[in-house]
Amino acid sequence: MKKDEKKIIMYDSDEAAQLKTVTGWVSSDGRFFGKDENLARYAGSTHSKCECGNIKTNGWTICETCRRKQYRERYLSLPYEEYTGQPVYSEILDRYFFNPDDIEEAYDDLDGGTEDLELVVCRPQYLSQINFNEYWEDVLPEDWDIEDVCNKDLLNAIDNLNKLISEAKPASWTPGKIRTSYSFKKD
């Protein structure tokens, strides 16, 4: 047989397959992990212990209590700004608030202080303007610019559209990195 020729092994020959006994770790869902007991135990379990001793759900590195404590510390480390009616977000409720009445309603639902809402000031998100060459780069030949294929009327129309886009209100809001709190109106 030549050096680069592969040996032929027929389907029904003893060389094609052999029955062997294999020992190894198998998770509760039936997956085989060989010698890796740790991975088999992880894959077959739903919970384990957190460093603090509490039970945590697999997929998380720490328990709910420790996550909450970390989030609270991170939240309190954010710079503070007085609430002035701007849109705010509460990660606790996973909810945006656009007016004080909604904040008060959420507070009533929580039966706690407004600090329980852990409000952060939202940042506005604006519509993107059209950058000619980037927007149509997949259809333009490599060395061409938009001016090589568009007439002045189209270019002016896009400039006018970009001007209107720049004057538009925010399209949406996203949680920012400044914490705030809400003070209730006195009746």
CA dihedral 160, 163, 164, 168 (to 10 degrees): 170
Residue 99 DSSP SS3: coil
Query: What is this structure's pTM?
Result: 0.66
For the chain, state the CA radius of gyration: 31
- Whether 5 is in a domain gets the answer no
Measured CA angle at 22 (ends 18, 24), to 5 deg: 155
Q: CA 111, CA 9: separation in Å to the nearest integer?
A: 75
Domain count, the chain: 1
Compute φ and ψ for 132, nearest 5 degrees. -45, -60
Task: Please say if the pLDDT value at position 172 is more than 60.
Answer: yes
- Amino acid symbol at 177: K
- Whether 170 is in a domain gets the answer yes
pLDDT tens-digit profile of 154-170? 889 989 999 999 999 99
Q: CA 101, CA 116: separation in Å to the nearest integer?
A: 16
* Other CB atoms within 10 A of residue 174 CB: 13
Is residue 180 very low, low, confident or very high in pLDDT (cuts 50, 70, 90)? very high
- Whether 156 is in a domain gets the answer yes
Q: CA 39, CA 54: separation in Å to the nearest integer?
A: 21
- Whether 7 is in a domain gets the answer no
- Whether 149 is in a domain gets the answer yes
- Amino acid symbol at 24: G
Task: Please say if the pLDDT value at position 119 is more than 60.
Answer: yes
- Amino acid symbol at 160: N
By residue range, what is the domain housing residue 66? 61-180
